[in-house]
Amino acid sequence: MKFKTFAAFVAPSLVMMLLFIAAPLVSVFIGSFQLHQPVLQEVEEESCTPGFTGQTCTTTIVTRPVIAESGEMLTTTEWVGWTNYTRVLNPEAAWDAVTSFDWNALMQVDFWAALRFTLMFTLVTLPLVIGVGLAIALAVNNAAKHVRGPVIFVSLLPFIITPVIGALSIRWLFIGDGILTAGLEAWLDRDLALFAQAWTIELMMLFYRVWHVAPFAFVIFYAGLQTVNQDTLESAIIDGANRFERLRYVIVPHLAPLIVFIALIHLMDAYRVFEEIVGFTSQAHVISLQWLTYDFLQPDDSGNRAFGRASASAMLTMVGIVVLLIPLLRRTWRDHKGGSH
């Protein structure tokens, strides 16, 4: 292929990646070292209270943001180095909690509480998604041909539902006098408040994520099962291998690249967990790193947004994703080098 032809094909994608991925990433990285503050001014404010003989007026000095003619708040930007990262991580409080073995004190720092849930959520759902997806794929692959179509259709329904809508649906089923909560209360003969404590909310979030994402793994594995070498399977059967042994020594090694692919996609997606926090409205009990970034961007009482801390939180989240992906990427690179020789 000529270079001009290659460039014509690659240029649109490259331009889009620079505009919508590289440029925002550089902007966030730079913003994590900056502090945006509103320009404040002191003004006199007079307040009067009615009285029997006349009004009583007092004058106080209050601090207010300066508003431009356009109606927007004037802000200033200054370079603050690692200050935003320090404010997000709060290393002094974290170190005191670690040295005193005070887990509750560590969880009082928003970043570490968010990191704890994000890591737990990502690492627990990963094997469950792969295991459930593979189990469904094996079941469908061994099912009669006339039932495969309906089973595949039903299995894909959770993946089709919009994530926030799915999370809201699970919440409505269990919150208050929801249908499933009412059924559990009648069966157990006791009152339940599943949204009053963190651990029950986390269990429902884990259940929802596996229910929502396992169909994606199922589709990938089902496609991979169609390419399994039947001669190898027949040879294993002749050699006396049972179902588990055929799965372990023939099917799983064949599906290993697909397992790595699903793990990569799931790690990147689960580490940015956000829909479950919004859908379950769990901010009082459980937060994630992605939600923490979103929370920094919410205006405070004076209308100011913590763009610097939000940028620092976003960069820390990205670093966490890269750290989790390194083992899988190294394995992929090693397999690629081995296959090229």
Question: Measuring CA to CA, which residue among 311, 243, 279 is closest to residue 31?
Answer: 311
Strand partners, 42: 63
From the first residue on, what is the mean pLDDT of each consecutive set of 10 residues in the chain (341 residues)?
A: 81 90 92 84 75 72 74 80 93 92 91 95 96 93 84 84 85 83 86 85 92 93 90 86 87 92 93 90 90 90 82 94 90 73 53
Residue 224 burial (C-beta neighbours within 10 Å; 0-12, 13-18, 19+): buried
CB 209 within 8 A of CB 125: yes
| DSSP 8-class letter at 105 | H
The answer to the question of residue 212 being in a domain is yes
Q: What is the CATH number of the domain that holds 149?
A: 1.10.3720.10
CB 47 within 8 A of CB 57: yes
- In terms of domains, do 176 and 261 share one? yes
Question: Measuring CA to CA, which residue among 141, 280, 268 is closest to residue 205?
Answer: 280
CA–CA gap between residue 169 and residue 96 (Å, rounded): 41
The answer to the question of residue 64 being in a domain is no
Give the pLDDT of residue 180.
Answer: 85
pLDDT tens digits along 242-275? 888 888 888 999 999 999 999 999 999 999 899 8
- In terms of domains, do 128 and 232 share one? yes
Give the pLDDT of residue 50.
Answer: 73
Dmax (CA) of the chain: 109
Give the pLDDT of residue 52.
Answer: 63
Count of structural domains, the chain: 2
Question: Measuring CA to CA, which residue among 26, 42, 44 is closest to residue 34?
Answer: 26
pLDDT tens digits along 274-312? 988 988 888 888 999 999 999 999 887 766 788 999 999
CA–CA gap between residue 67 and residue 85 (Å, rounded): 29
The answer to the question of residue 166 being in a domain is yes
Give the pLDDT of residue 179.
Answer: 86
Q: Letter for the amino acid at 163? A: P
The total of other beta-carbon atoms located within 10 Å of residue 247's CB is 14
- In terms of domains, do 279 and 133 share one? yes
- In terms of domains, do 290 and 187 share one? yes
Q: For the chain, what is the mean pLDDT?
A: 87
CB 305 within 8 A of CB 293: no
The answer to the question of residue 62 being in a domain is no
CB 74 within 8 A of CB 65: yes
CA–CA gap between residue 331 and residue 196 (Å, rounded): 42
- In terms of domains, do 226 and 318 share one? yes
Vertex 127 angle, CA 276 and 158, to 5°? 45
CA–CA gap between residue 290 and residue 56 (Å, rounded): 51
Pairing mode of beta strands 75-79, 40-49: unpaired
- In terms of domains, do 178 and 284 share one? yes
- In terms of domains, do 174 and 289 share one? yes
44 in helix, strand or coil? strand
The answer to the question of residue 213 being in a domain is yes
Q: Letter for the amino acid at 228? A: V
Q: Letter for the amino acid at 276? A: E
Angle between helices 23-31 and 307-340 (to 10 degrees): 130
- In terms of domains, do 25 and 107 share one? no
The answer to the question of residue 286 being in a domain is yes
The answer to the question of residue 56 being in a domain is no
Element of type H or E holding 58: strand 56-65
- In terms of domains, do 146 and 247 share one? yes
Structural domain for 17, as ranges: 1-31
- In terms of domains, do 22 and 149 share one? no
Q: Where are the alpha helices (DSSP H) in 90-197?
A: 91-99, 103-106, 110-142, 145-160, 163-174, 179-188
Q: Which residues of 49-70 are buried (b: 16+ CB within 10 A; e: fewer)?
A: eeeeeeeeeeeeeeeeeeeeee
- In terms of domains, do 15 and 164 share one? no
- In terms of domains, do 113 and 4 share one? no
The answer to the question of residue 323 being in a domain is yes
